[in-house]
Structure 1
Amino acid sequence: MMVILGHLVGRAGAAVLALALLVAALWLGAAIGETEIPFPVVAKTVANRLFGAGYPLEPLDEGIVWSYRLSRAVVAASCGSALALSGAVLQALLRNPLADPYILGISAGASAGAVSVAILGVGGGLLALPVGAFIGALVALAFVSLLALRAGRGTGTVILAGVAGSQLFHALTSFIITKAASAEQTRGIMFWLLGNLSGVRWPDVHIAVPAVLSGLLVCLWHARALDAFTFGTASAASLGIPVRRTYVLLVATSAMMTAVMVSIVGSIGFVGLVIPHAARMVVGLRHIVLLPVVALIGAVFMIIADIVSRTLIPGQVLPVGVITALVGAPAFALLLARGGSRS
């Protein structure tokens, strides 16, 4: 009994610590920027908006915190969690440490789907941007899967097929923009494609947060299956796991999370590649523990990347995808080098 109680207390303490870390990151995201906002002002703004506390604040400071920075930080956290979770799931399912939504072309397909809806009016106005992105992500995933099956089943084949699919859908997106977009649309979309959090507001939070929470719950429900998939589909089947149904559900969940985030902030690379590996070094391979840690590290990483994107060059906001690439590209090269040295 005491062992069980101690285990529950340990989990509760870890959950409280994780929540405190996430709140601290959101607090930093709301306070730090070109105009510095004191930390007490951030807390009082949240208290005024959520609980009607009535603290006297400068309307400009309160507006910056609530209407601009805090919503941006929440979407950044959701995006980081979703992409990191997608990477962790895909790496387990494909048994490939280099798998992530960006490298496998899912992000590129989602971008093509979102641009098709926004510029070409695909769906006749009946398709929302996230739905178009989700369809594009599924089409890209199907293309990559078929190409990989046709070429062979080696672990490197999936990555090569993903690179080919990614280039194809990036080219398709560029063609649509060049052919049908106005000059103003082209400027906005090209900046968005690099990963842009500048335009997000609270309505985007209402889409991003449910998407990542539902995705996390689905992944946690299948944590045991993901543990089994890391040893191969035969091992998963021997444990009584419905392999095909579970595989399709988890891949669709990863595509859904990626598509929703791409439709809001554009294509952001390397988060799904780097964060799962960092989390495994901290907590190991068991997915029931790994997945929440991946979501937390992804959220904090993306908030920090957004802060850097707003403060690195005074008076100018960089696309957040540039910051993640500056971190992720060297990590990707390191993974490739380690993989090559082991072969």
Structure 2
Amino acid sequence: MVLQPRYKRLVMMGLLAFLLVACLLSLALGPVSIAPSDTLRALFWRFAGTAVPADQQLIIEQIRLPRMLMGVVAGATLALTGAAMQGLFRNPLADPGLIGISSGAALGAALVIVLGSLLVGPLGADWQPYLTVPGAFVGGLACTALVYRLGQSVQGTSVASMLLAGIAITAISGALVGLLSYLADDGMLRTLTFWNMGSLAAADYPRVGLLLLCCLPIWWRLPRLAPALNALLLGESEARHLGVEVERVKRELVLLTALGVGACVAACGLIGFVGLVVPHLVRLVLGPDHRWLLPASMLLGSALLLLSDVTARLLLAPAELPLGIITALLGAPFFLSLLMRVRRQGGF
């Protein structure tokens, strides 16, 4: 069934409204709940003419607003790159983690946390967070570059070889992270554990600005590759006949995904299943056309990550669950149901 553009525009408007509601809930709910009307007044007090109590203003402006912004940016980027990877691999079970980006970023962060004391010592412990973020970013890029190199052959870049190389690199990175965890002391181990579980708790305006700076080029470029991704759905040979420079598109997709996921892991830690679940949900409603799939995935990814963060804050309030636990609890059952559906259709 061919979906009408009007229907697709209505779905996009609904997703935008859903995101706005998720943003409001993210700002209003937490260990200290604030009424939605007071939340809006705290945001627009210069225009509303009346202010909220100082403690509520501080919570909204300095704690929850940067956290909400980071959730929007990270959720959109993870979902967007997940949709791009599923288009590249032509498989709804694909995920950015398949090519080793997330595991490489985790390894880079672990190296800084556990072995970085030689560098941090002379500078002071306050410098460690500033070293961990670039360490995770470089680790993700390095593993992706290695996977891409291993996937190259005489005929070009093999998607199947990249997938197998990504699985191997992920296993090696996981083993090295385990070794570093064994060598870590109690303080390092706690930091490493929470990093691997993911959280938006460390959000502040400088970190949000840096993450947005890394992600804006990805938001701009990946949707412009939608026609090429649509052609790749037919197969690489067919895409070449349609005039797509397949090898260049593959390089761009892998590089942009590495940049986006590496930046998100560096800022928020490991947050799984967003890039897997969100594009598939959107595809069920809007179909496989990447011209609609990519922007819709960005909207839904942001909204679902914000709602997962709200859930992480409220379940054990005033304590806070790691965000990665919530996304895994929601995403893993969906992944299993998707796997069973593909098997029933004869996909394996």
After TM superposition, is the score higher than 0.5?
yes
Q: 1:288: how far off?
A: 1.0
Q: Given that residues 26 and 70 in structure 1 are in contact (C-alpha distance below 8 angstroms), is that contact kept between their aligned partners in structure 2?
A: no
Q: Could you tell me which residue of structure 2 aligns to residue 233 of structure 1? A: 236
Where do 1:1-16 residues align within 5 Å?
none
Aligned to 1:74: 69
| Match in the other structure for 1:28 | 25
Cα drift, residue 249 of structure 1: 1.1
Contact 2:30 2:317 in 1 (8 A): no
Q: Which residue of 2 aligns with 1:134?
A: 137
2:55 to 60, 69, 72: 60
Corresponding residue for residue 171 of structure 2: 167
1:197-231 residue CA offsets vs partner (Å, 9 max, x unmatched): 11111222112233333212111111101111122
**Which residue number in structure 2 is paired with residue 253 of structure 1?**
256
Compute the RMSD of aligned alpha carbons.
3.1
Q: Would the alpha carbon gap of residues 149 and 329 (structure 1) be closer, same or farther in structure 2, given more than 3 Å must change? A: farther
Determine which of 337, 342, 348 is the counterpart of 1:339: 342
State which of 96, 99, 117 in structure 2 corresponds to 1:101. 96
Provide Cα deviations, 1:300-328, integer angstroms capped at 9, x if missing partner: 00000001001112322000100110011
Name the aligned partner's letter for residue 59 of structure 1: A
User: Could you say if the C-alpha distance between residues 154 and 330 of structure 1 is closer, same or farther in structure 2, counting changes exceeding 3 Å?
Assistant: farther
Q: TM-score, normalised by structure 1?
A: 0.86
Structure 1 unaligned spans of 5+: 1-5
Aligned to 1:311: 314
Q: Is residue 42–residue 51 contact of structure 2 (8 Å, CA) maintained in 1? A: no
Summarize the alignment of residues 176-325 of structure 1 with structure 2, pairs less than 5 Å apart.
176-179=180-183, 181-325=184-328
Residue of 46, 49, 53 corresponding to 2:43 = 46
Does structure 2 retain, via aligned residues, the 8 Å contact 1:195–1:320?
Answer: yes
Question: What residue is the counterpart of 1:113 in the other structure?
Answer: 108
For the 8 Å contact 2:100–2:169, the answer to whether it is kept is yes
In the alignment, the residues of structure 1 paired with residue 339 and residue 159 of structure 2 have an alpha-carbon distance, to the nearest angstrom, of 13
CA distance in 2, matches of 1:313, 1:200: 20
Q: 1:220 to 1:158 in 2, by over 3 A?
A: same
Residues 1:57 and 1:221: Cα distance change in structure 2 (over 3 Å):
same
Q: Deviations over 1:80-106 (max 9, x none)?
A: 111111111111111122211234431
Query: Equivalents in 2 of 1:128, 1:289: separation in Å?
Result: 38
Does the 8 Å contact 1:102/1:270 carry over to 2? no
Q: Distance in 2 between matches of 1:38 and 1:225?
A: 46
CA distance in 2 between partners of 1:52 and 1:300 (Å): 26
The unaligned stretches of length 5 or more in structure 2 are 121-129
TM-score by length of 2: 0.84
Q: 1:98 to 1:157 in 2, by over 3 A?
A: farther
Query: Which deviations, in whole Å up to 9, do the C-alpha atoms of 1:261-318 show, x marking residues without a partner?
Result: 1011101111111111000011111111110100011000000000100111232200
The alpha-carbon distance between structure 1 residues 156 and 241, as it changes in their structure 2 partners (threshold 3 A), is: closer
> Partner of 1:3 in structure 2?
none
- For residues 115 and 39 of structure 2, what CA distance do their matches in structure 1 show? 41
Percent of residue pairs bearing the same amino acid type: 34
Residues 114-155 of structure 1: CA deviation (Å, up to 9, x unaligned): 333455449x79x965543333223323444566679xx998
DSSP 3-state at the match of 2:97 = coil
Which is worse superposed, 264-273 or 199-208? 199-208
Q: CA deviation at 1:160?
A: 5.5
Aligned length: 332
Letter paired with 2:89:
L
CA distance in 2, matches of 1:228, 1:285: 11
Compared CA separation, residues 209 and 22, structure 1 to 2 (3 A):
farther
CA–CA separation in structure 2 for the residues paired with 1:194 and 1:293 = 26
